[in-house]
Amino acid sequence: MTILGPILGPILGRPWLRRRNARLLRDAGRAINETGYVSAGGIDHFVTIRGASHDNPVLVFLHGGPGATQTVFATQTLSWEEHVTVVQYDQRGSGKTRHRNGPAADGELSFERLRRDAIDLINALRHKLGVTKVILAASSAGSAFGLQLAASRPDLLHAYVGTDQNAGAESSRITHARTLDMLRRTGSRKGVRVLENMPADPAEWTQAQSGALSRWAIKADPGIPNMITDVIFPAMMTSPLHTMADIREINSGITESMRQLYPELAAFDARAVAPGSASRSSSSRAPPTS
């Protein structure tokens, strides 16, 4: 598929696709279906809570990016809601949370601040939903402070699930080596030159170099989706929960969150947070794409 498909399709079909997705959410007839704002860390966070039964366990999802809110994927997690009450929220500096509070309210972004926000939110949800613990799931950049939360507050959790788990420098080195090998085999001289000029230690990569690795990994392997054009953009444009103003804030939030959090992402070491965790996580993780 060319880039015109995932880009033009959602733009041209936005009105119809938003109405269709709104019907899907409405017709699911969930026992729990709440959309609004919950105070955590001193600011209001946009939160969606959906589930088929009050008896199901509660799953709280920490999105990645950083800044790439996953409340835009509400229709794609409908099947989860049969088994767990799904809580999605836009983190500080992201999406509708950023839109409501304004960039000035974000303050300085850090994993520690996002971890504390998540703890406050979980405690509010425990009270609201009448549960003692939740399942915590985290993706990509969110899995960095998600792992920190799990290690520091196991009393709040039934379980921790990391997807596209950020394991640190080891997985980045493996991604670099595999991408470089594919580029050499396909004869991409420019890509080889770019990757060979990157420092051996991923902690020394600049944000631009990390982004370049992601782009070349996508070019080298057609099986790797472009997370922006193939996944996030179509979901943003067709989400019935998000206006164009919200979408602009998502884009701004991704840029600013990555600017502030990249140094921590580059230096992250899962073994230091939770010894043994890196060896159990995927070794094929690509670096952040935004």
Residue 222 lies in a domain: no
Q: At residue 269, does pLDDT exceed 60?
A: yes
Summarize the confidence of residues 264-272 as an average pLDDT.
Answer: 90
177 is a domain residue = no
pLDDT class for 287, splitting at 50, 70, 90?
A: very low
Average pLDDT score over residue span 98-110: 89
Q: Containing H/E element for 253? A: helix 244-267
pLDDT at 1: 41
pLDDT band at 226 (very low <50, low <70, confident <90, very high): confident
Question: What is the C-alpha separation between 230 and 269, in angstroms, rounded?
Answer: 29
| CB neighbours of residue 174 within 10 Å | 15
Predicted local confidence at residue 288, as pLDDT = 46
Amino acid letter, 21: N
Q: What is the DSSP letter of 55?
A: T
**pLDDT of res. 74:** 93
In a domain, 142, yes or no: yes
In a domain, 78, yes or no: yes
Distance, in Å, from the CA atom of 17 to the CA atom of 9, rounded to the nearest integer, reads 10
CA dist 263 and 260 (Å) reads 7
Residue 206 vs residue 106, higher pLDDT: 206
Whether 199 maps to a domain, the answer reads no
In the chain, the number of structural domains is 1
User: What is the domain range of residue 49?
Assistant: 29-166+249-280
CA distance 95 to 102: 10
| For residues 254-280, average pLDDT | 83
Residue 119 tokens read as: 């703890």
- The CA distance from 113 to 134, in Å, is 20
Lowest mean pLDDT among 26-30, 39-43, 164-168, 254-258: 164-168
CATH of the domain at 89: 3.40.50.1820
More confident residue, 289 or 62: 62
Is the confidence at residue 96, as pLDDT, over 80? yes
- Return d(Cα 157, Cα 58) in angstroms, integer: 10
Backbone angles phi, psi at 285, to 5 degrees: -65, 130
User: What average pLDDT does the segment 250-262 reach?
Assistant: 93
- Is 273 within the bounds of a domain? yes
Task: Write down the pLDDT at residue 84.
Answer: 98
Q: Assess if residue 21 is contained within a domain.
A: no
CA 26 from chain centre, in angstroms, equals: 25
Identify whether 10 is part of a domain.
no
What are the φ/ψ torsions at residue 126 (nearest 5 degrees)?
-60, -45
Give Cα 120 to chain centroid, integer Å: 19
pLDDT tens-digit map of 21-74: 999 999 999 999 999 999 999 999 999 999 999 999 999 999 999 999 999 999
